[in-house]
Amino acid sequence: MKNLLLNLAVAVYASRYQRDDVSSCLPLLPSPKPSHPILWGAQYSAPNDQSSKNKTDLLFGKLLSEGGRLMQLSLPWADIETTPGQPDLVLIAELLADVRGVGGVPLFNLAVIDTNRVSVPSDLADPENPGSLRAGLNWTSPEIVDRYAKLMEVVAPLVAYSGGPYFGLGNEVDVNLMSGTTEMAQSFVEFLFIFRQFIRTLTAPKPLAVGATLTVGGLGAAATSPPSWLTELVTVADVTPLTYYPLNPDFSVKTDASLIHQELISAVGVLPAGACTVFQEFGIPAGYGNSSSTDHSSQTVQSAFFSDFMLNVPRLLNASGHPLRAASVYELVDMPTSECLGLAPYYNVSNPAFIEYLCTLGLVKGDGEPKQAWDTVLGIVKSG
CATH number of the domain within which 275 lies: 3.20.20.80
Q: What is the pLDDT of residues 329-378, one digit of tens each?
A: 999 999 999 999 999 999 999 899 999 999 999 999 999 999 999 999 99
Confirm if 56 and 368 have CB atoms less than 8 A apart: yes
Q: What pLDDT, on a 0 to 100 scale, did the predictor assign at position 52?
A: 95
Confirm if 370 and 363 have CB atoms less than 8 A apart: yes
Give the CA dihedral 350, 351, 352, 356, nearest 10 degrees. -90
Q: What pLDDT, on a 0 to 100 scale, did the predictor assign at position 324?
A: 96
Q: Please report, rounded to a whole number, the percentage of residues in the chain having pLDDT higher than 70.
A: 93
Confidence of residue 30 (pLDDT cuts 50, 70, 90): confident
Confirm if 63 and 43 have CB atoms less than 8 A apart: no
Question: Within a 13 Å sphere around the CA of 372, how many CA atoms are in the beta-carbon half?
Answer: 16
Average of pLDDT values for 27-33? 82
Q: What pLDDT, on a 0 to 100 scale, did the predictor assign at position 384?
A: 77
Q: Over 70: is that where the pLDDT of 109 sits?
A: yes
When divided into structural domains, the chain yields a total of 1
Q: What pLDDT, on a 0 to 100 scale, did the predictor assign at position 23?
A: 57
Confirm if 55 and 368 have CB atoms less than 8 A apart: yes
Confidence of residue 292 (pLDDT cuts 50, 70, 90): confident
Range of the domain at 310: 2-383
Q: What is the pLDDT of residues 70-83, one digit of tens each?
A: 999 999 999 999 99
Confirm if 155 and 92 have CB atoms less than 8 A apart: yes
Between 233 and 3, the more confident residue is: 233
Q: What pLDDT, on a 0 to 100 scale, did the predictor assign at position 8?
A: 55
Q: Over 80: is that where the pLDDT of 1 sits?
A: no
Q: Please report, rounded to a whole number, the percentage of residues in the chain having pLDDT higher than 90.
A: 87
Q: Could you give the CA distance from residue 324 to residue 195 in angstroms, rounded to a whole number?
A: 25
Please state, rounded to an integer, the average pLDDT across all residues of the chain.
92
Q: Which positions ≥6 away from 285 have C-beta within 8 Å? A: 253, 295, 297, 302, 356, 357, 358, 359, 360, 361
Confirm if 119 and 109 have CB atoms less than 8 A apart: no
Q: Could you give the CA distance from residue 276 to residue 320 in angstroms, rounded to a whole number?
A: 10
Beta bridge partner(s), residue 281: 243
Q: What pLDDT, on a 0 to 100 scale, did the predictor assign at position 17?
A: 40
Between 13 and 279, the more confident residue is: 279
Helices (H) and strands (E) in the chain, counts: 16, 11
Q: Over 90: is that where the pLDDT of 157 sits?
A: yes
User: Per mean pLDDT, which range of 20-34, 236-250, 307-321, 332-346 is the poorest?
Assistant: 20-34
Q: Over 90: is that where the pLDDT of 19 sits?
A: no
* Count of residues making up the chain: 384
Q: What pLDDT, on a 0 to 100 scale, did the predictor assign at position 21?
A: 55
Q: What pLDDT, on a 0 to 100 scale, did the predictor assign at position 18?
A: 47
